[in-house]
Amino acid sequence: MRVFKFGGASVKDAAGIKNVHDLLQKVGYEDVLLVVSAMGKTTNALETVVAAYFDKSATLQSSVQEVKKYHNQILLDLFEDENNEVFTAVNGLFFDLEYFLSHNKSPNYNFVYDQIVSYGELISTTILSHFMSFMGIKTTWIDVRNFIKTDSTYRDAEVDWDLTQKNISKNVKRKVLNITQGFLGSDENGFTTTLGREGSDYTAAIFAYCLNAESVTIWKDVPGVMNADPRYFENASLLNQISYREAIELAFYGASVIHPKTLQPLQKKEIPLFVKSFINPLLPGTSVSKGEDLVPQLPCFIVKKNQLLVSLSSIDFSFIMEENISEIFGLLHQYKMKVSLIQNSAISFSICVEDKFGNFNELKNILAKKFKVSYTENVSLYTIRHFDEKAAQMVEDGKEVLLKQVSRETMQIVTKEAI
């Protein structure tokens, strides 16, 4: 079985849905499992619904209607007959969403977030499955929540691999086109969980691992894995082949083309990963596979915007020792701060972090009881794998360098854009 993952950009409108159909005609769809994200910017739109719900805002109903209107237009563009059962199916999902909004009693933001945002994937896969049937391709629609079981860490759930393996290996049908949702799972109580933003790649890897898949292909709007993000760097080049290790390093440092958790399950069973263009599906793209010699022969640039550079120093000028660092990391874990860089001296400790869940102000107040805390907001963290001086100079030009760290293969530079 092959596993294909389609992100939101590939199914953002009716033309995108039709392109997925055409792509499958070219590359084959028997014994394939599709993992599909929410359409376009639907997750962002549903996050607006969550915010309006907790703010008790008068805009709650209108924010839900915006999501409805967006999907209804796609339906009208795809299906000539409004009596097609897909309209009933999608309306049923919106009914369930509105029922939850009117009856939920939980004050837990993360729990509510997962229950609401999950409708993006449920709706997108319902529309895609019905369209495939409409075009004569029989599909099996899978509710991923019955297969991927997790703990109850809402918004960033951990997979129960044993139970998930049993569910998937026993119940996924072979020799058909399966369609399921990325990003989602469920806990032991049956409540929806999510695997972290952009977690659909990880979903594809979970299914591939449990099914001993032939391969995983992530379909993107770029030709494959590039040595730099074309949005920020001119003349980005395609990496034709890279090793699992190199891909894991790039993903760890923030390369957006592959989700960080995706690669380890594939590496364990040596399942090859392909990153290809859904615009030109017959191009080779990038292959990720076993091989220590599959190392890029040019510098690879990764940039993470909107980071925080935080420096902690001891109030009494005493050394920052192991017990202090242990306490700091315990708090960073507790407040779900993603640490991308660490640098320490005798009396100071600096970190570049991503405040994904908006917890920094609360964390800062805790840290300030024991440390002098200084920080700079909205910095950019550049990571250069296989760097050279020319690559470093290109990053530094026109920017204020706040911190630089160099190891054997990797250089990291924290900058503030020059005004």
Read off the pLDDT of residues 335-393 as tens digits, 9 standing for 90 and up: 999 999 999 887 788 999 999 889 999 999 999 998 999 999 999 999 999 999 999 99
Q: Write the pLDDT tens digit of every residue in 106-153.
A: 999 999 999 999 999 999 999 999 999 999 999 999 999 999 999 999
In this prediction, what percent of the chain has a pLDDT beyond 90? Answer: 83
The residue type of 45 is A
> Which tokens is 355 given?
């405040």
User: Rounded distance, CA 20 to CA 31, Å?
Assistant: 16
The per-residue pLDDT of the chain, averaged, comes to 94
Q: Tell me, what DSSP letter sits at residue 157? A: P
DSSP state of 75: H
CA distances to 39, 80, 120, 144, 193 from 98, in Å:
19, 27, 14, 21, 18
- Give the mean model confidence (pLDDT) for residues 26-33: 97
Phi, psi angle pair for 134, to nearest 5°: -60, -35
Q: How far apart are the first and last CA of the chain?
A: 53
pLDDT (mean) for 395-415:
94
* pTM listed for this prediction: 0.86
Beta strands in 172-214 (DSSP E): 177-181, 184-186, 192-194
Percent of the chain with pLDDT over 70: 99
Cβ 292 vs Cβ 283: under 8 Å: no
| Dihedral sign of CA atoms 146, 151, 156, 159 in order | negative
Mean pLDDT of 217-228: 93
- SS3 state at 330: helix
Domains and CATH numbers, the chain: 2-213 (3.40.1160.10), 300-417 (3.30.2130.10)
385 is in an annotated binding site: no
**Band of pLDDT at residue 215, cut at 50, 70 and 90:** very high
| 264 φ, ψ (degrees, to nearest 5) | -65, -45
Using pLDDT thresholds of 50, 70 and 90, give the confidence band for residue 80.
Answer: confident
- At residue 293, the pLDDT reads 67
Number of H helices, E strands in the chain: 13, 16
Give the pLDDT confidence score for residue 272 in this predicted structure: 96
Tokens of 367: 């840290």
Residue 419: pLDDT band (50, 70, 90) is low
Place of tokens 């999608």: 90
SS (H, E, C) 1-36: CEEEEECHHHHCCHHHHHHHHHHHHHHCCCCEEEEE
Alpha helices in 341-385 (DSSP H): 360-367
d(CA 128, CA 126): 6
Helix (H) or strand (E) holding 117: helix 109-117
* Segment 252-301, tens digit of pLDDT: 888 877 877 899 999 999 999 999 999 999 999 999 998 866 778 899 99
Residue 203 has pLDDT above 90, yes or no: yes
Tell me how crowded residue 296 is: count the other CB atoms within 10 A of its CB.
18
pLDDT band at residue 418 using 50, 70 and 90 as cut-offs: low
Cα 94 from Cα 68, distance rounded (Å): 8
